A = this chain, B = another copy of it.
Amino acid sequence: MNHVWSVDPRTGGPVEVVARETAPDEVAELCDRALEAAPLLEAMGRQGRAGLLQCLADALERRREDIVALADRETALGTVRLDGELTRTGYQLRLFAEVLDEGSYLEAAIDHAGATPMGPRPDLRRMLVPIGPVAVFGASNFPLAFSVPGGDTAAALAAGCPVVVKAHHSHPGTSQLVFEVLVDAARAAGAPEGTLSLVHGLEAGAALVAHPAIRAVGFTGSLSGGKALVDIIERRPDPIPFFGELSSLNPLVVTPRAAEERAAEIAEGIVGSFTMGAGQFCTKPGLVLVPGGRSGDALLGEMAARVRDLDAQWLLNEGIAASYARGTERLITTPGVDVLARGRAADKAGFQAVPLLLATSAAGLPEEVMEECFGPVTVVARYADEAQLLAALRRTPSSLTATVLRGDGETELPARVARLCRQRAGRFLFDGYPTGVAVSWAQHHGGPWPSTNSQHTSVGTTAIRRFLRPVTWQNAPGELLPDELRDDFLGVPRRVDGTLRLAQERPAAATA
């Protein structure tokens, strides 16, 4: 069995063995344990699981220093960013505890028996239940927030689904450490054995997705990686839901008025956004549409000056570094694409990348600039007029985000851009930058293919819907119903005979 090495991106060298690849029969055993844990985790109830999530958050925070230090050594993302990421991870675990307390996510509905134009209707009661054990694939670029303790894991555990995580090979030591912290905390909180498991290795990941106990897959990664998993799923006797967050170009539009009014501020914002975390965000703006003419020129000048002033940055791993080298070479050699500015050359060891600002014309937008290139590069496409701008946007693939930067109080052009982009993006931003995805109730992090499978989010409270499925009880005796579907239960919002009722609302009779 192969060893799993921890690698330091700042040197490019392996540091130590932190685990070994999980054998297929071990994967099977972990999946079976997850299946056994499922009814017990569900039986903890909403309150029990809310408590569990809070314990997990507390445990991570108690080990903050160790976790951040190891994650920094394995990712070179820097301790400030990783400290913030751990805070985010704790926050999202606690937010899902609130989701459980609030209870709307159950979509509880009761239709009492009665007459209808189609004849008598039986008593029907519907709510969402856990889908079963979930496989979560950790992402390279968020060792804490989209990995072992990340958004998918938090959402799945909240839903009542045991989780088997496939560790990303880019931070196996961090994965192993936070896994151990979480498992200890889960045990102390009374969660069943098998609530959370971890596997290492490509083959283990394939075995995981193929295992009959696994009922859904959460994945954040490349389009090719996602497609490989979909192929495995389609070969199962029982295909299961796959929730992939895959590839996103994130077009950003600067209107002529915005360029005129605030070039320096916008240049700072865009350069900050596409080089943040060494450009390794799924929401990185990869295509920036800038007007032609003098104001556009000034904006480009400001952007170029800032890029030239940037140091080379460390990428997460050898594969991403090689792919950045290939991708930028391909862009640079594309006819019609010019290099506008380069950051300072790499002078240190490891997986370094030089930030890069490229320029092309919106009129003849080459196919090559329509693909996501992970790393600190963006392409500016100049447009001559609105028709050219909208035609270019129509050619962009669907994305997680689309952005428009407006002039003060400007609405007409932004409205037309928004209308067009709403067809091909999950989040539409005004006067902001797409990197940085707040975890909240109204967030959506998803979009039509290739960004995701379009109907669900992987960030924010509604991410829980991915790991639930509806069940309807017909004519069930009260004592065999889940609490939330009994007549006298008032603790969650419910739809009763078609009317939505808030929690705690007392029936009229009780007040009298």
Contact = CB atoms under 8 A, between A and B. Distances in A.
A242 to B, nearest CB: 10
A511 to B, nearest CB: 17
B443 A131 contact: no
A456 B470 CA distance: 7
B239 A471 contact: no
Contacts of A449: 238-240
Given A238-B450, A241-B454, A121 B440 contact: yes
Given A111-B442, A470-B444, A476 B116 contact: no
A339 interface: no
A429 B500 contact: no
B411 A477 contact: yes
Contacts of A132: 423
A226 to B, nearest CB: 10
B475 A98 contact: no
B500 A411 contact: no
A241 to B, nearest CB: 6
Contacts of A444: 126, 470-472
Interface in A378-417: 398, 411, 414-415
A431 B475 contact: yes
Contact of A441 (B111, B119, B238, B477): B111
A495 B132 CA distance: 28
B441 A472 contact: no
Nearest to A231: B234
A190 to B, nearest CB: 21
A264 interface: no
Nearest to A109: B442
Task: Using C-beta atoms within 8 Å of the partner chain, give the interface range for chain A.
Answer: 35 or more
A117 B469 contact: no
Interface string A270-281: 000000000000
A157 to B, nearest CB: 18
Contacts of A239: 230, 449, 453
Interface in A456-512: 456-457, 460, 462, 468-477, 479-480, 493, 495, 497-498, 500, 502
A209 to B, nearest CB: 15
A415 B480 contact: yes
A455 B442 contact: no
Contacts of A469: 426, 446, 448, 454-455
A476 B430 contact: yes
A450 B470 CA distance: 16
A122 interface: yes
A87 interface: yes
A455 B473 CA distance: 16
Interface in A122-154: 122, 124-126, 129, 131-132
Contacts of A423: 132
Contact of A480 (B414, B471, B473): B414
Contacts of A98: 498
Contacts of A441: 109, 111, 126, 495, 497-498
A148 B497 CA distance: 28
A500 B498 contact: no
Interface string A415-429: 100110011011111
A432 B500 contact: no
A359 interface: no
20 contacts: A84-B118, A91-B116, A98-B498, A102-B500, A109-B441, A116-B438, A118-B438, A122-B432, A124-B443, A125-B442, A131-B455, A238-B398, A238-B449, A240-B449, A411-B480, A427-B471, A429-B474, A432-B474, A442-B495, A448-B469
Closest 3 A/B residue pairs (Cβ): A444-B472, A109-B442, A238-B449
